[in-house]
Structure 1
Amino acid sequence: MTSDRPSATPPASRPLILGSTSRYRHELLSRLKLPFEAVAPNVDETPHSGENPADLAVRLALAKAREVAQRHPQAVVIGSDQVADLRGEPLGKPGTHERAVAQLKRLRGETVVFQTALAVVCAATGFEQCDIASVRVVFRKLSDAEIERYLRAEQPYDCAGSAKSEGLGIALLERIDNDDPTALVGLPLIRTCRMIRAAGVHVP
């Protein structure tokens, strides 16, 4: 006589923590329909002298995941960071309308690489992985009036490069080239699934 029931109970999935207070990353991780907690990492995000955008993103993603993992050693912790790369120069979040205007005036007609780094750490098991999703974005040749209308409507002052692609920011762009569709928003979910699965989280 055979049974359809599994012969053994699989090990429990480890608790999952998102080491970020970003509402964009929170919304993206929620798509996986997994229980998780969001914890703010205590990390200095100041770039090092001469540090290129990809290295900066990787260093900060790892630092965020490691810092939160020290406080929650049994959990699988996700850390992520995004830096806009304009010909090797890092561009961060503008913070103000004036800085956003200046950023977008520099970006019009340019190709920018958004470097989105992802780190997954579990202190209890010694698990640590890091990867980076590079998204190549071509901006339209925007007029001053288009920039002003966009910023007044969207107010993307907490977005790297002032480009909120999941909203009206998509109208600023000519093309997006990437292999992980959510990377530009701030959390590459294809890589996230692969890495947290390897760390002991059941997905789905």
Structure 2
Amino acid sequence: MNPPPHSRRPVCPRCLRPQPTCVCALARPTAHRTEVLVLQHPHEQRQAKNSVTLLRLSLARCDVVVGEHFPPEALQALLHRPGRDTRLLYPDVPAAPAPAAAPVTPGAPVRLVVIDATWRKSLRMLLVHPALAALPRLALHTPPPTRYRAIRAARRADQVSTLEATVQALAMLEGPSFDGHPLLDAFGEFVAALASQRRPGH
């Protein structure tokens, strides 16, 4: 993952954010079995309030690939790994119906694909990439209220950050063996810090 374009301020070599907004101290190493692939829209990479950096630093098996349009062969190589059941974290929507698929076998190795983008841009990425739209889906069930609202508006009550959605998906896939609470608490600290910077006097 490369630093955000046209960033002229000194950046942290680990989290790739400007030094004043470094999030390395918030990283919470979190044990997990599932491979996570984040396809990040370029516009999200430039957002200071984006949650993916903290997610990447905290999950050992998390790859982030920035892009909006991917060559078919390159995308296939990204999506699939031998011996792993690939699932796309995305709801079943009329514009892009979810294909029929058997549920994930408990304990089976999974590669979880996550799109990091606004709702409109994520749907566009899904529609222009048939290989992405053909993946079996994993949908969240009534996610808890997002901690993101302090810094980013959500149109619907079930909209959450990419970090929160991924943590809930990992809990669904891995059960009690996965503990995402420390990472969610770190994300809460991240949101609170950004919110305080927006207040007068900061």
TM-score (norm 1): 0.29
For normalisation by structure 2, the TM-score amounts to 0.29
Counting strand residues as a fraction of each chain, which structure ranks higher? 1
